[in-house]
Structure 1
Amino acid sequence: MTNAKRIFYFYELLPGFDSGSSAQILRDYVTGGLPRLGWQITLPFKVFPNRFDGWPEFACRNEYSRSLAIKSLFFADKFFARLYLLFHFVAWARNFPGGICICVIREDKFLYLAMVLRVLCRFKLISELHEGGMPFASRSNTTWQYQTFLNSIDGIVFTSRAQLEYIVKLGFVPPRNAIVLPNSVETGKFSKATRSLSKDVLVLTYAGSFIPWKNVPLLFASLALLPSNYRLRIAGGKRNSSHADEYIRGLSSKYDVGNRVDYLGFVEPERVIDEVIDGSSVLLCPLDRSVSSMYATSPMKLVEYMATPIPIVAADVPSVRSLASEDEVFLASPDPTEFASAIVLASQSDCSVMIARANQRARTYDSKCRADVYSRWLVSL
């Protein structure tokens, strides 16, 4: 038992693939290869016992908890849901007499609870940094409080080098045990996507979220500047969301491109390659100039795109440059004219050398490669 290795991901995952973060956690921690390296993973799901629609099947040796499978009445009060999560965590930690025990938190709101629990249970506490854990989004409202958070954890995982540079730029001192580890991608699957070489109809594709800093309007504004043989294929939003439909219709009307936009709605992740990416001429990764997009995010769609044989146009912001260079993707400012010019260049060029470089970089983000690097770092803590 002393050689056992366990991870408790202190976060409530949502059912189905409506939540991109939940799907990414599963890929990084379960299907990506950590169990293959001897890690037992506990993920608390915020679901009912029969609500696993759309989730992949897991090997029986992988632990996953339905600890929050309580009635919806309790979910109206987060206190009960968090209390249930707390009880499950204590049971997990106290029943682990030896080996390596890791608790992963995403945001500082769980810090003090985790620190109290660490007095009762022996484990290492690390933070995996995402948008919600950055200083501007943190519950630690002062510089001193956020530095206390950084000082109180045993290690930190930056999912983008831009995050690390931003925190240092603000004057914070990150923990000594720090690693830059972008989210993983299943390169084998995305490498099978097909590129359209047609010049009669050029298909520009975006698959992702519609939250404001993703800058989806940039796609429509750029499309309006392009010749009529360019079409926009877009997938995203929430499952059965009328709001997303209205949002896309509104942008199509505003930029007068409605007859050139194909909105596919919400598409399950396992069907994105076949239904969305296949047959694309160019893949698009728009972002704005907010702090969230420039420094906080690690654009996982960009990494997925880089594994395909299709050229990419991405916003030229620090978070993108931390994952790719101008030798691998076409970079353009979040200005419609410049973004449209980059699209034309990408769609009219051979791009074979650039695509090969992007594919090579994507392989360094492969889920199995990430699991190997992450496992070695965790063991070294």
Structure 2
Amino acid sequence: MIIVWVNKRNWKSPGPIVNVAVHNATSFSAIGYETHLCIGAGDDSSSREDLREFYGLNPPENFHVYRIPRWRFRSSTYSFSVFRYAFKLVKSLSRGERVVVFTRESGFLAYLARLCRNPRISGYYELHDGYADLSWVEKKKAMHYREKLYEHVFLPRISGVLCITESQQDMYRKLFPSLPSVAFPLGTKPVQKRREPSQKQKLRTLMYVGHMHKDKGVDFLLETAVKLSEHNIRTIFWGGNPKQVPKLDDKARSLGISDMVEFVPFRPPEEMHNALATRASLGVVMLKDTFYNNYLTCPVKSLDYLSHGIPSLGSDLPSVREVLAYAGTYVSNDDADAFVQAARYLLDDPEHYEKMASLAVQRAHEISWESRAKAIVNFVNSTTKNTKDTKNGI
């Protein structure tokens, strides 16, 4: 069985999407499957060096990256070239062996449906939203209706869907009862050499990783940073657009906490992991209470904290609990005093901190990228025959 992953974005794009795609793909090569990743080209560089130095990976020889220049028209770029290349590659590979294709790109669904007409090809869509039912979207745009159309037309014609939350799977089971589905959170990358919990605790630093959007709880964390600073606890914000940093610095100055907070825009994943390993005592996943945050997202930052055995404070939402499980400390996302109290308990009580750090390590091993890949392979093997027997043509 050969694995192919398709992602339209450019290689080394900032933020979690391409990083997740690369780890998704390499996890299958790590468990022994020949794996191919088709992705936008990005700037010229050595893919093998980037995998090691930018993504912090040491992929085996059975992992292949195809970086396809995106089509340009005036000031815009388009993903058709990536999709066309992937389509031809899959058809070519299928002449010799069974091929399983994965993508999160709705624009590739039409190609995927065509490929799935071949009995030697299976195709799966990894869901990161819930566009098939727009009842949860408050301000609907043309894009939302387009995505809904894609899903209703093409999902019944592919082999199945990979959901990232159980609630998301429940939604799609109701909408597409005959479509095979499975739910797994995204994966962790457990760090083998970690600082002792006592060393991390003494750093007294809370680290937030991710976008600087309001829905991610950044305003709440600025409020708590003031209260935490009174107890000699620093807060680091790691992520977001470089243009946001000056405004956030100004905000910190106005709050009188410039010396107790730090704002770092998105950096290569390997740099982020080095910062978590050397600077962080606690992680934070304080998502706002929205439908999307409750049921349709897998907070990648929580996976990063678990990977390093860092205790985490999180909103008491289903999506956060699904990842952190027993390893999380849960706080209402509008109770700054309770948040500060929970952080102090972890940082002021060595025994409690060590216990939660140990649970984080345990949870990280349960939901590693490799464990996820094995579970997906089992799902594919269990559903492929039924899918091929019942699928309609296109």
State the TM bucket, normalised to the shorter chain: 0.7 to 0.9
What amino acid is the match of 2:298? S
1:11 partner SS: strand
What amino acid is the match of 1:161? E
Structure 1, residues 144-169: CA drift from partner, whole Å, max 9, x if none? 8755554333111112223224556x
For 1:125 and 1:173, locate their aligned partners in 2 and report how far apart those are by CA, in whole Å.
Answer: 16
Aligned twin of 1:307? 307
Contact 2:316–2:330 under 8 Å retained in 1: yes
Contact 1:230–1:260 under 8 Å retained in 2: yes
What amino acid is the match of 2:376? Y
Is the alpha carbon distance of 1:252 and 1:122 closer, same or farther for their aligned partners in structure 2, counting shifts above 3 Å?
A: same
For 2:116 and 2:189, locate their aligned partners in 1 and report how far apart those are by CA, in whole Å.
Answer: 34
Percent sequence identity over aligned pairs: 17
For 1:121 and 1:250, locate their aligned partners in 2 and report how far apart those are by CA, in whole Å.
Answer: 59
Map 1:173-252 onto structure 2 (within 5 A).
173=176, 175-189=178-192, 192-195=194-197, 202-226=204-228, 227-238=230-241, 241=242, 243-252=243-252
Contact 2:7–2:21 under 8 Å retained in 1: no
Q: Does 1:67 align with 2:68?
A: yes
Aligned twin of 2:156? 151
Deviation at 1:86, TM superposition (A): 3.5
Q: Does 1:110 align with 2:112?
A: no
2:324 partner SS: coil
Range moving further from structure 2, 291-300 or 38-47: 38-47
For 2:147 and 2:380, locate their aligned partners in 1 and report how far apart those are by CA, in whole Å.
Answer: 29
1:43 partner SS: strand
Contact 2:212–2:218 under 8 Å retained in 1: yes
What amino acid is the match of 2:34? W
Structure 1, residues 274-302: CA drift from partner, whole Å, max 9, x if none? 33442433221221112222222111221
Range moving further from structure 2, 281-290 or 95-104: 95-104
Determine which of 36, 44, 49 is the counterpart of 1:41: 36
Determine which of 27, 45, 50 is the counterpart of 1:50: 45
Contact 2:212–2:240 under 8 Å retained in 1: yes
Is the alpha carbon distance of 1:287 and 1:247 closer, same or farther for their aligned partners in structure 2, counting shifts above 3 Å?
A: farther
Is the alpha carbon distance of 1:354 and 1:172 closer, same or farther for their aligned partners in structure 2, counting shifts above 3 Å?
A: same
TM score, norm. by length of structure 2: 0.80
Unaligned runs of 5+ residues in structure 2 are 53-57, 138-142, 385-394
Map 1:343-362 onto structure 2 (within 5 A).
343-349=343-349, 350-351=351-352, 352-362=354-364
Map 1:244-323 onto structure 2 (within 5 A).
244-253=244-253, 255-323=255-323
For 1:331 and 1:83, locate their aligned partners in 2 and report how far apart those are by CA, in whole Å.
Answer: 43
What amino acid is the match of 1:151? P
Deviation at 1:220, TM superposition (A): 0.9
Aligned length: 365
For 1:278 and 1:75, locate their aligned partners in 2 and report how far apart those are by CA, in whole Å.
Answer: 44
Contact 1:207–1:276 under 8 Å retained in 2: no
Is the alpha carbon distance of 1:82 and 1:223 closer, same or farther for their aligned partners in structure 2, counting shifts above 3 Å?
A: closer
Is the alpha carbon distance of 1:274 and 1:112 closer, same or farther for their aligned partners in structure 2, counting shifts above 3 Å?
A: closer
What amino acid is the match of 2:327? E
Contact 2:245–2:265 under 8 Å retained in 1: yes
Unaligned runs of 5+ residues in structure 1 are none
What amino acid is the match of 2:51? W
For 1:281 and 1:127, locate their aligned partners in 2 and report how far apart those are by CA, in whole Å.
Answer: 36
What is the CA RMSD across the aligned residues, in angstroms? 3.2
Is the alpha carbon distance of 1:25 and 1:305 closer, same or farther for their aligned partners in structure 2, counting shifts above 3 Å?
A: same
What amino acid is the match of 1:82? S
Deviation at 1:82, TM superposition (A): 3.0
For 2:275 and 2:372, locate their aligned partners in 1 and report how far apart those are by CA, in whole Å.
Answer: 27
Q: Does 1:84 align with 2:91?
A: no
Range moving further from structure 2, 44-53 or 34-43: 44-53
Is the alpha carbon distance of 1:165 and 1:86 closer, same or farther for their aligned partners in structure 2, counting shifts above 3 Å?
A: closer
1:224 partner SS: helix
Aligned twin of 2:333? 334
Contact 1:154–1:175 under 8 Å retained in 2: no
Contact 1:100–1:379 under 8 Å retained in 2: no
Contact 1:203–1:231 under 8 Å retained in 2: yes
Deviation at 1:10, TM superposition (A): 2.9
Deviation at 1:233, TM superposition (A): 1.8
Determine which of 4, 11, 26 is the counterpart of 1:15: 11
What amino acid is the match of 1:46? A
Is the alpha carbon distance of 1:379 and 1:76 closer, same or farther for their aligned partners in structure 2, counting shifts above 3 Å?
A: farther
Is the alpha carbon distance of 1:113 and 1:308 closer, same or farther for their aligned partners in structure 2, counting shifts above 3 Å?
A: closer
What amino acid is the match of 2:166? R
For 2:60 and 2:379, locate their aligned partners in 1 and report how far apart those are by CA, in whole Å.
Answer: 24
For 2:60 and 2:280, locate their aligned partners in 1 and report how far apart those are by CA, in whole Å.
Answer: 34
Structure 1, residues 296-347: CA drift from partner, whole Å, max 9, x if none? 211122122123343211111111011223x421101111233223222222
Aligned twin of 2:391? none
For 1:67 and 1:204, locate their aligned partners in 2 and report how far apart those are by CA, in whole Å.
Answer: 39
Contact 1:236–1:267 under 8 Å retained in 2: yes
TM score, norm. by length of structure 1: 0.82
Higher helix share: 2
For 1:372 and 1:13, locate their aligned partners in 2 and report how far apart those are by CA, in whole Å.
Answer: 26
Determine which of 127, 130, 134 is the counterpart of 2:128: 130
Deviation at 1:237, TM superposition (A): 2.2
Contact 2:206–2:234 under 8 Å retained in 1: yes
For 2:106 and 2:158, locate their aligned partners in 1 and report how far apart those are by CA, in whole Å.
Answer: 10
Is the alpha carbon distance of 1:125 and 1:317 closer, same or farther for their aligned partners in structure 2, counting shifts above 3 Å?
A: same
For 1:341 and 1:54, locate their aligned partners in 2 and report how far apart those are by CA, in whole Å.
Answer: 41
